[in-house]
């Protein structure tokens, strides 16, 4: 695969722009995977096996990924939208190439796997793999998501039992129930859901006579948000991470 095409596939611009980056000496490559063993390349049409290729573009290291799978710790006060209405977009937290990855669809770059409200923090997945997005977000797949909920009023066992039995939301006559619900203390609980309706956690707590004051998604599937990933930070998901994600703990 030509180097300019590899750069294009990673979101570094049009093929002409990518060829220019190479010809101007801004690209070095490593086929060994060893840190520091980068060799400058000024031939845009030079052929490389992209699998395992390490790129250094304008001084920034960039491993080749045929498909992008990313974990972001969403901070408060951000919107999961390419065109936010009030708050900054989560996409501004990601490198430009990730946002510009070419796609066969009308939307370029990676997409959030579901959405979190602007005041909700925690674990957010992003990808440009349509099958993966469907696998992780479709209600039919029943992928559990764990939310740490802080409530305005004390939570009691009656409310917990109602959440487990199912509550009726105003736009759906079919009861919606929590897959699991555990009291942490008087004003906190861990709530596990396997579907994602609009403002679902907030509406479920309202239906049992309480109110959400803080909301944090701590886990998706069998994978928990890493403790060392600070709000606003992101990282690539490994093959092992992907296997953990699709292994349901329920």
Rounded-to-integer distance, Cα 213 and Cα 149, Å: 8
70 C-beta neighbours (distance < 10 Å), count: 19
- Compute, in degrees rounded to 10, the torsion defined by CA atoms 108, 80, 63, 239: -110
Which among 76, 194, 74 has a CA at the least distance from the CA of 123?
74
- 3-state class (DSSP) for residue 94: coil
Q: Which of 117, 119, 129, 241 is catalytic?
A: 117
Classify strands 39-40 and 27-30 as parallel, antiparallel or unpaired. antiparallel
Look up tokens 């989560």; give the residue.
90
**Active site (annotated) includes residue 156:** no
Radius of gyration of the chain from Cα atoms?
A: 21
238's tokens: 């490994």
Distance of CA 173 to the CA centre of its chain: 31
Rounded-to-integer distance, Cα 77 and Cα 118, Å: 5
H/E run at residue 61: strand 60-63
Q: Known catalytic residues?
A: 117
């Amino acid at each position: 695969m030509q180097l300019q095409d590899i750069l294009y596939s990673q979101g570094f611009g049009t093929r002409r722009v990518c060829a220019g980056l190479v010809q101007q000496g801004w690209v070095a490559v490593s086929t060994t995977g060893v840190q520091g063993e980068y060799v400058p390349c000024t031939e845009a049409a030079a052929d490389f096996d992209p699998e395992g290729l390490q790129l250094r573009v304008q001084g920034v290291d960039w491993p080749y990924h045929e498909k992008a799978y990313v974990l972001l710790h969403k901070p408060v006060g951000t919107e999961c939208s390419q065109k936010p209405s009030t708050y900054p977009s989560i996409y501004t937290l990601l490198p430009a190439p990730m946002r510009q990855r070419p796609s066969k669809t009308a939307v370029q770059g990676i997409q959030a796997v579901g959405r979190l409200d602007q005041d909700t923090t925690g674990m957010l997945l992003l990808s440009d793999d349509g099958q993966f997005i469907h696998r992780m977000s479709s209600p039919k797949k029943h992928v559990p998501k764990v939310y740490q909920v802080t409530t305005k009023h004390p939570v009691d066992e009656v409310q917990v039992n109602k959440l487990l039995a199912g509550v009726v939301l105003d736009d759906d006559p079919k009861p919606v129930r929590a897959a699991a619900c555990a009291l942490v203390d008087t004003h906190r609980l861990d709530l596990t859901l396997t579907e994602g309706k609009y403002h679902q956690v907030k509406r479920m707590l309202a239906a049992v006579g309480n109110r959400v004051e803080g909301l944090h998604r701590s886990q998706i599937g069998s994978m928990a948000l890493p403790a060392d990933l600070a709000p606003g930070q992101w990282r690539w998901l490994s093959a092992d991470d992907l296997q953990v994600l699709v292994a349901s703990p329920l």
